[in-house]
Amino acid sequence: MKAISLKWAMLPLAVVLVGAASSTAVLAQDPSSPSGSSASSTPAVKPDPSVAQRKENQQDRIANGVQSGQLTAGETSKLETKEAAINGETRADRAANGGKLTAGEKAKINGQQNHLSNQIYTDKHNANTAQYGNNKVGQRRENQQDRVAQGIKSGQLTAGETAKLETQQKGINQQVAADRKANSGSLTASEKTQVNHEQNQASKNIYRKKHNASTQASPKL
């Protein structure tokens, strides 16, 4: 009888020991503990964008500004002229180094793109915006700008081509503004005919440049 009593008296202690061992095992396997997650908590390092990727990003921002009216034709022309100059310098550097850029050349180009990025932001957020008006002349101008924006975004238009097209649009816009000022805000029938003719020529230029062999290079990481 004493042996049986001792056996049942020790049973609760055994249960407690088994429970403690199980809890220890669970804690050791807990994936949320610091020791179990230290190796996987470090975020993957993303590669820096390539020169071509940076260029495409800038072009997308310009295209959005043209389409939204935040960038005027004159502002776009200046921005794309700067972009074209950077692109020309990049091509020259690559040609001189067997198709590659040195670390110093990449740093220089990145600095130039930083300056251009700041200029894009400034031009898109200043007081100058494209004002088309609810009339046929204004609608034609807006249509041309939408086509240019689509060509920039798709890569059909290079920076140099866009600069020339927007310089042409700037000239037309200045002529329209001068004519309106001389006629109390209106255009005469002959002035409308002249503007329409000039926009026809601009339209042909947009089509030709969007369908020629010159395209914006695709980015490579």
Residue spans of the domains in the chain: they are 51-210
Query: Does position 180 have pLDDT exceeding 50, yes or no?
Result: yes
CA dihedral (188, 130, 143, 76) positive or negative: positive
pLDDT-derived band at 91, boundaries 50, 70, 90:
very high
SS3 129: coil
**Quick check: pTM over 0.85?**
no
User: Which runs of E-coded beta strand occur in the chain?
Assistant: none
Instruction: Enumerate long-range contacts of 22-31, CB under 8 Å, 24 or more apart.
Output: none
pLDDT digits (tens, 9 = 90+) for 22-67: 444 443 443 434 444 444 444 444 444 688 889 999 999 999 999 9
pLDDT of amino acid 52: 86
pLDDT of amino acid 25: 43
pLDDT of amino acid 50: 81
Cα 8 → chain centroid: 77
User: Which runs of E-coded beta strand occur in 94-176?
Assistant: none
Count other Cβ atoms within 10 Å, centred on residue 169. Answer: 26
